[in-house]
Structure 1
Amino acid sequence: MASNRRALVTGASAGIGEAFARELARRGHDLVLTARRADRLEALAKELRERHAIEAIVAPLDLGRADGPEALVAALEAQGLSIDVLVNNAGYGVPGYFEDQPWSTHAAFIQVLMTAPSELVYRLLPAMKARGYGRILNIASLAGHVPGSAGHTLYAASKAYLIKFSQSLALECAGTGVHVTAVCPGFTRSEFHDVTGSRELVSKMPDFMWMDAPTVARQGLEAVEAGKAVYVNGRVNNAIKGLFRLLPDALALRMVARQGRRFRTGPRQG
């Protein structure tokens, strides 16, 4: 990637989003960082400005707001700031069975993980095409390639959506100078499992199943540069994806159900 381009990273305050911000800054990109935690964004922006001599703008925002993406893009346009690289990373998990949470919780989840990334692409893509350059990374998951499990009901579904969305966009953008990639990491060391309350359970996973966020970010940027519509991080994750593609659906579901019982967060309620 060339320097002096500007990247927008959502969910940039920690984990994979922070790692993307660091890697993009290392490559000379100016940044717009957004997440809910303004204090963390300010600290990260200050560090990256000083370390890499880039411009880093902080735009605290809750993408769970229906008007969030439109307001963010409007603010950027008002400042004359164009976005060359979009990293749709913001996300979280909702543990428990589907009916155990109020619909408002699920609606907010769908807004953050599906609607907001789609709208940000919709609002930023035309200018990317007009300039003949753009990079869009939708941070999906290995979960989008395997059968959904009980608990975290919408998580795998949202990631499968981002994968298919990215594939279609990549075809639509062919020849325009805009590359679109769904990045699909598996277990990644970050705060994600602390926020969902599953840290103790997933800590039972063997070390070889885990990746670190900086590696995920570096590989994701390399993949979008190479024009890969879908990129699964790591040999182990690729092997898991390949295995589930070969298995009959009924057998794959039984395997997921068996593993899910080992790592489910909390008992079934009701």
Structure 2
Amino acid sequence: MSRRLVLITGASSGIGLAFARAYASHGWDVALTARRADRLEKLAEEIRLRFGVEAHALPADLAEANAPEDLQKSLLALGRNVDGLVNNAGYGQPGGFVANSLEQHKAFMQVMMMAPMELTHRFLPGMIEQKFGRIINVASLAGFLPASPGDTLYGPIKTFLTRFSQSLHLEVRDHGVHVSALCPGWTYSEFHDVVGTRSKLSKAIPEWWWMGADEVAREGYVAAEANRPCCVPGAPNKAVAALLNIVPGDWTMELASGQLRKIHR
């Protein structure tokens, strides 16, 4: 098989779905994973017909500790190596730290942090061996904030993904492997619908600040090909990221708190 294969997590909607189409449009075969098997099968069929590449639907729940190993076994059974990895799966967990159970927090960290780390560890050696690889970890502009109340673990985990990507970028850049953190801001997807914040956010966040998932994925693809360690898509988000690098942390904490009060009032 001459075509490259990319594994995309959280591929059934939003940025993950957009990445699937973006990679397929550039001639990559795609392996799609998410919990919703029906959506994956539908997307895989669309990609086969539209782009003429192979598309594999591999339903999995990354909250289960054995999911990364099972995905690796499934791909080995297909006789395919993983040339690209997009760690995109994720969700929000609002309501505050105490209001969510310890088991909810553990599952959240498994999906958002442990699974991306393990998938990277499982597939990176093959990329290094063949001297080619692409890894995109979908982080967030929220990872640039020193703190954000409410969705307590989200920002710190996204900070981890960004720093993890940057460190790994330095570690493997001489091996033909590109590693990038993609840090989008407000993005039109199902993310905010699932956590029930869509209507409030639409009122609080100006329309010009929002980006489409397709645009975010395109910028992420270009950044990975250019081997940029971090990509913040969209001019407003770039400006915010630059500002957060120079504004004192206690100021940004208060700004974040004020913005959240505006959203949730």
Shorter-chain TM-score range: over 0.9
The answer on 1:99 being equivalent to 2:104 is no
Matched, 1:16 2:15: yes
| SS of match in other structure, 1:181 | strand
Q: Encode CA deviations 1:136-156: one digit per residue, 9 max, x unaligned.
A: 000001000123211111111
Question: Equivalents in 2 of 1:177, 1:78: separation in Å?
Answer: 26
The answer for the alignment partner of 1:144 in structure 2 is 143
Q: Matches of 2:147 and 2:195 in 1, distance apart?
A: 17
Q: How does 1:41-190 map to 2 (within 5 A)?
A: 41-190=40-189
Deviation track 1:240-270 (CA, whole Å, cap 9, x = no partner) reads 1111211112111111111111113x8xxxx
Once structures 1 and 2 are overlaid, which stretch shifts more, 127-136 or 77-86?
77-86
The CA RMSD over aligned residues, in Å, is 1.0
Partner of 1:251: 251
Runs of 4+ in 1 over 6 A off after TM superposition: none
Q: Following TM superposition, by how much is the alpha carbon of 1:219 offset from its aligned partner in structure 2, in angstroms? A: 0.6
* Matching of residue 231 in structure 1 with residue 222 in structure 2: no
Aligned to 2:32: 33
Contact 1:147 1:256 (8 Å CA) reproduced:
no
CA–CA separation in structure 2 for the residues paired with 1:91 and 1:125: 21
Using structure 1 for the length normalisation, give the TM-score: 0.95
Counterpart of 1:195 in structure 2 is: 194
Deviations 1:11-43 (A, max 9, x none): 000000000001111111101000000000000
Contact 1:142 1:185 in 2 (8 A): yes
Deviation at 1:79, TM superposition (A): 2.5
Q: Which runs of 5+ in 1 are unaligned?
A: none
CA deviation vs aligned residue, 1:186-218 (integer Å, no higher than 9, x gap): 000000000011111111111111000111111
Aligned partner of residue 174 in structure 1, secondary structure: helix
Q: For structure 2, which runs of at least 5 residues remain unmatched after alignment? A: none
* Aligned positions, number: 263
Alignment partners' CA distance in 2, 1:37 and 1:78: 21
How far did residue 69 of structure 1 move? 0.4
Q: 1:77: Cα distance to partner? A: 1.6
Tell me the equivalent position of 1:261.
261
